[in-house]
Amino acid sequence: MKVEKVKKICAICGKENFYNQVVSFSNQGKSDFDLREPQSLLSDGSLIQECPECHYCSYDISKLVEQSYYYEMYKKEKWINNFESIFKNESNNAVRKYLIMAKQFHNNSQFLDEFKMLIGASWACEDDKEKSNKLKNEAIDLYFKEILKNRRTQLMQLSDLARQVEKFDIAKDLITASSLLTNENDKDYEFIKKVIDYESKFILNKDSKRHNLSEIK
């Protein structure tokens, strides 16, 4: 890993400091089954810069992550009020950075990025099995609540596109996969189930025409 010192101004408190900036890195060997790379930079938070003054965290400390701070006059005060519990109570440097980033992404509704930060935090504290597992469970819960439904919608869209170009076998596999991702607890479960049923019938009949959701009864 190649790192250089760069002088930057914190986007929250305005203080100037030197920060490590990763210029290049490489991993050798195969990843774990959970996609953790050997000697991963995700393990120690090296890719995240943290201000020593106010503990703001970002991949680039001079840029804001959370959108709500762009027009906020009292950025530092707001930052401390919102994030103080994390940077005062979390002693593990890497975990602290990941949790701060995770909260910022959550506030931006960037749930996939938040998921990645929670996974990074769990890897950074694997010496504390209970804590690591708690973070992994938080990541799993977040994925089911906020991310999985978008994956299902994408599979349904791909299925219909494949059907329209008469790739019926692919369309069938995709709609079957999306069906497996449905959850009876979803508020739109009944409608989604009908969409999948209609799509499955179109595929079975080798129908490649366009169809509109208004056809659903």
Those residues with Cβ within 8 angstroms of residue 156's Cβ, 6 or more apart along the chain or in another chain: 174, 175, 178, 195, 196, 199
Q: Can you give the pTM of this predicted structure?
A: 0.88
Looking at the structure, tell me whether residues 29 and 105 fall in a common domain: yes
Q: Cβ atoms within 10 A of the Cβ of 14, count?
A: 12
Euclidean distance between CA atoms 175 and 160, whole angstroms: 8
Q: Does residue 42 carry a pLDDT above 60? A: no
Q: Does residue 41 carry a pLDDT above 60? A: no
pLDDT grade for 31, boundaries at 50, 70 and 90: confident
Q: Tell me, yes or no, whether 86 lies in a domain.
A: yes
Q: Mean pLDDT across the stretch 116-132? A: 95
Q: Does residue 39 carry a pLDDT above 90? A: no
Looking at the structure, tell me whether residues 98 and 163 fall in a common domain: no
pLDDT, one tens digit per residue, over 47-99 is: 899 999 999 999 999 999 999 999 888 999 999 999 999 999 999 999 999 99
Looking at the structure, tell me whether residues 75 and 27 fall in a common domain: yes
Q: Does residue 150 carry a pLDDT above 70? A: yes
Burial of 35 (0-12, 13-18, 19+ CB in 10 A): exposed
* Structural domain that includes position 94: 2-109
Q: Does residue 40 carry a pLDDT above 60? A: no
Question: Contact, 117 vs 102, CB < 8 A?
Answer: yes
Q: Say how many domains are in the chain.
A: 2
pLDDT grade for 183, boundaries at 50, 70 and 90: confident
Question: Contact, 98 vs 121, CB < 8 A?
Answer: yes
Looking at the structure, tell me whether residues 11 and 105 fall in a common domain: yes
